[in-house]
């Protein structure tokens, strides 16, 4: 699970696949507002964003 979280891929928006199998088109902020912190990403999350994701996952699993 750590490897998946570190990759950031599970938190990226989905869209049509390119020739390489990765997302080629997406809709940033399709299900959230630009003024909010993103819940999913139209791009790979940064290391800082991945750390925030880990914190939120930890908070969620310890409730």
Count the Cβ atoms, other than its own, within 10 Å of residue 38: 18
Instruction: Give this prediction's pTM.
Output: 0.66
- What are φ and ψ of residue 18, in 5° steps? -85, -175
- Reading the chain (63 residues) residue by residue, the pLDDT tens digits are 899 999 998 888 777 777 888 777 666 666 677 788 777 777 889 999 999 999 999 988 887
Confidence (pLDDT) at 13: 77
Query: What does the pLDDT look like over 18-29, one tens digit per residue?
Result: 788 877 766 666
Distances (CA, A) of 46 to 16, 61, 62: 22, 22, 24
Confidence (pLDDT) at 52: 93
Confidence (pLDDT) at 51: 95
Partners of 9 in beta bridges: none
Count the Cβ atoms, other than its own, within 10 Å of residue 45: 21
């Amino acid at each position: 699970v750590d490897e998946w979280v570190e990759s950031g891929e599970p938190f990226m928006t989905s869209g049509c696949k390119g020739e390489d199998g990765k997302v080629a088109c997406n809709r940033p902020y399709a299900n959230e507002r630009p003024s909010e912190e993103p819940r999913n990403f139209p791009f790979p999350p940064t290391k800082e964003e991945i750390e925030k994701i880990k914190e939120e996952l930890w908070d969620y699993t310890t409730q």
